[in-house]
Amino acid sequence: MAVKIPHRLYLSEDEMPKKWYNMRADMKNLPDPLLNPATLEPVKTEDLYPVFCEKLAQQEMDEKTRYFEIPEDIQEFYRMFRPSPLIRAYNLEKALGTPARIYYKYEGNNTSGSHKLNSAIAQAYYAKEQGLAGLTTETGAGQWGTALAEACSYYKLPLTVFMVKVSYEQKPFRKTVMQTFGADILASPSNTTNVGRMILEKNPDTTGSLGCAISEAIEKAVSTQGYRYVLGSVLSQVLLHQSIIGLESKLAMEKLDEYPDIIIGCAGGGSNLGGLIAPFMQDKLTGKANPQIIAVEPASCPSFTRGKYAYDFCDTGKVTPLAKMYTLGSSFIPSANHAGGLRYHGMSPILSKLYHDGYMDAVAVEQTKVFDAAIFFAKEETILPAPESAHAIRAAIDEAIKCRETGEAKTILFGLTGTGYFDMTAYGAYLNGTMTDYIPTDEDLQKGFDELPKV
């Protein structure tokens, strides 16, 4: 290697990408269209306007535009925390005794503590531009809600966040952070929406789910004058905004004369994974390169590895369009012992299609093994990872160990999406030995599959 590789490579402000990249423009086989659940006809862009802000609806439906200019105002906000560093995991490599070169793109160095801010600020910007009165959203582990609270505070937009009840209870401090940025927080299911009341009536003790919080947030948005709904993952617009992660990563690696053999990202709804892999997937789609791409999901919520590729609702209340995706069924709720995010029943339709067509692999990992990796990593690299991010760490360590066994000096890139400061209850459970694993049985999963809409 002629190039000296620093521990942390920061691109300069001028090098920050000025366009987002839309993977669909290079996909020969596009994701199946969103369907209106009543008519089963493909959804048109205008159909989304009552729910989404218009520019975002257009981005959602645009399969042709390869690059979208990042508005200057969003770039200006990005400069408060971007470009984010590409870090060479020298200590981790040494501790593993691996010939692999391990890099990670670290998105945790901002107050939201994760990559979610990349899309949050874009969505708040377009909402402000349209003159909206406010926004609603849901949050699971709380990273998205925090990011959107920051973004809405910046644009002085009122925000209501439906927070999955189990997180609301486990993470009171997450709530306070969002409140610090001026957001209203409700535990979901709540009794402030029809769908929330309906779900509570059916199952009063439910710990909530992202799917349920989505239903509530949508209901609140469409029933409040001038409000729209925004979502931090799954959607194609979110993957578009998150492409900045991958674009920066690729540019930084080029400066180091590096190209990843393996790219690893954790996958819940796909926001980080889709963003990280975007320009590398472009290389695969256009035949320029063929890196291995690995999605890592929790064994407790295994959409890719054990889900069905089928049309399904994006929410529990069945108010959204139908999306063709890997899904566990919209009624699926991960076991309450599952810590952190990555708890969504479905998966980005773009990533689902790419996985279905063989462009990427997926693995499911158990929670205690994820925390083994998290703590090992924290001690070597001194960053305390979010449980979500630790899924990618687990897989990266496993790949690096394979390299040790085969002697191959592969270049591994993984996404370190965020920090674990608000996940100390889970860390504590791991440390005191009370953390358990949960793997749904085939029977458990069948219940969700049985409810899939017949399309």
Match 């320029």 to its residue by tokens: 288
CB nearer to a copy of itself: pick between 12 and 225:
12
CA distance 14 to 199: 49
Q: Are the CB atoms for 142 and 174 separated by under 8 Å?
A: yes
Q: Which of residues 57-96 bind a copy of itself (CB under 8 A)?
A: 77, 79-81, 91
Does residue 110 interact with a copy of itself by CB under 8 A?
yes
Task: By CB under 8 A, tell whether 381 contacts a copy of itself.
Answer: yes
Rule CB under 8 A: choose which of 2, 3, 12, 288 binds a copy of itself. 12
Residue among 418, 144, 96 at smallest CA distance from 265: 418
150: left (phi over 0), alpha (psi -120 to 50) or beta: alpha
The residue from 39, 225, 286, 382 that contacts a copy of itself (CB under 8 A) is 382
Quote the radius of gyration of the chain (alpha carbons, Å).
20
Q: Omega before 17 cis (within 30°)?
A: no
Which x/- pattern, by CB under 8 A, does the window 114-133 give for a copy of itself?
A: ---x----------------
Please pick, from the candidates 30, 44, 46, 173, the single residue that binds a copy of itself as defined by CB under 8 A: 173
Among 30, 289, 409, 431, binds a copy of itself (CB under 8 A): 431
Cβ closest to a copy of itself, residue 113 vs residue 196 = 113
**Measured distance CA(396)–CA(214) in Å, rounded:** 32
Q: Which stretch binds a copy of itself (CB under 8 A): 43-51, 106-114, 246-254, 346-354?
A: 106-114
Residue 17, classed as helix, strand or coil, is coil
Binding map of a copy of itself across residues 257-276, x = CB under 8 A, - = no contact: --------------------
Residue 42 near a copy of itself by CB under 8 A:
no
Q: Is 376 in the site for a copy of itself (CB under 8 A)?
A: no
Cα–Cα dist 11/120, whole Å: 22
Q: Please return the burial class of 136, using the count of CB atoms within 10 Å of its CB with bins 0-12, 13-18 and 19+.
A: buried
Return the residue of 13, 69, 201, 257 that touches a copy of itself, per CB under 8 A. Answer: 13
- Nearest to residue 143, comparing CAs of 394, 367, 340, 300? 340
Residue 97 found at the interface with a copy of itself (CB under 8 A) = no
Least distance from a copy of itself to the Cβ atom of residue 174, Å: 8
Strand, coil or helix: 86: strand
Q: Is 8 in the site for a copy of itself (CB under 8 A)?
A: yes
Q: Which of 19, 42, 97, 179 binds a copy of itself (CB under 8 A)?
A: 179
Query: Contact, 161 vs 132, CB < 8 A?
Result: no
| Tokens (6 digits) for 305 | 């590895």
User: Could you give the string, one character per residue 286-305, with x where binding to a copy of itself holds by CB under 8 A and - elsewhere?
Assistant: --------------------
DSSP result, 167-233: HHHH-HHHHHHHHHTT-EEEEES-SSSHHHHHHHHH-TT----HHHHHHHHHHHHHTSTTEEE--SS
Nearer to a copy of itself, 121 or 132 (CB): 121
d(CA 290, CA 190): 47
> How many residues sit close enough to a copy of itself to count as binding (CB under 8 A)?
43
Point out which residues bind a copy of itself (CB under 8 A).
6-8, 10, 12-13, 77, 79-81, 91, 109-113, 117, 150, 153-154, 172-173, 176-177, 179-182, 375, 378-379, 381-384, 419, 421-422, 424-425, 427-428, 431
